[in-house]
Chain A
Amino acid sequence: MNCDSHREVLSAMLDGEADPSEIEACLRHLESCPACSLYRDQLDASRAILREWPEETFAAASRARMSPDRRLAAAAAILLALGLGFLAGRSTIPRARLGAVVPPSGAAFRETQRTIYPDLNEVHSYVLLQTDSSRSERNGGLR
Chain B
Amino acid sequence: MNGLEGTLPDVDSAFRLHRVDLFNYFRRCGLPRPAAEDLTQSVFVVLLKERSRFDAGRGSLRVFLFGIARNLRLQWQRGARMRVVEWETSAAAATRGATTEELFAVREAVLALPDPQREALLLREFHGLDYAEIARVQQIPTGTVRSRLFQARDAVRRRLRPNPIEDEEKP
Contact = CB atoms under 8 A, between A and B. Distances in A.
Interface of A: 3, 7-8, 11-12, 14-15, 17, 34-35, 38-39, 42-43, 45-59, 62, 65-67, 70, 73-74, 77-78, 81, 92, 117, 121-124, 126
Interface of B: 8, 10-12, 15-16, 19-20, 23-24, 27-28, 33-34, 37-38, 40-42, 44-45, 48-49, 88, 91-92, 94-98, 102-103, 106-107, 110, 121, 124-126, 130-131, 146-147, 149-150, 153-154, 156-157, 159-161, 165-167
Given A50-B106, A73-B45, A124-B12, A57 B146 contact: no
Contacts of B167: 3, 35
A108 to B, nearest CB: 21
Contacts, number: 137
A138 to B, nearest CB: 23
A118 B161 CA distance: 52
B57 to A, nearest CB: 19
Contact of B146 (A12, A50, A66): A12
A53 B110 CA distance: 11
Nearest to B97: A52
A17 B157 contact: no
A51 B103 CA distance: 10
Most buried by A among B94, B98, B124: B98
A33 to B, nearest CB: 9
Q: Is the interface of A mostly helix, strand, loop or mixed?
A: helix
Contacts of A54: 91-92, 94-95
Contacts of B102: 49
B38 A42 contact: no
A47 B161 CA distance: 11
B48 A77 contact: yes
B95 A66 contact: no
B19 to A, nearest CB: 5
B20 A123 contact: no
Contacts of B38: 62, 65-67, 70
Given A43-B153, A45-B160, A49-B160, A65 B126 contact: no
A62 B41 contact: yes
A77 B150 contact: no
Given A7-B154, A8-B146, A17-B130, A123 B41 contact: yes
Given A42-B161, A78-B45, 15 more contacts: A8-B146, A42-B157, A42-B160, A46-B153, A52-B95, A56-B23, A56-B27, A62-B37, A73-B45, A74-B41, A81-B48, A117-B12, A122-B41, A123-B45, A126-B41
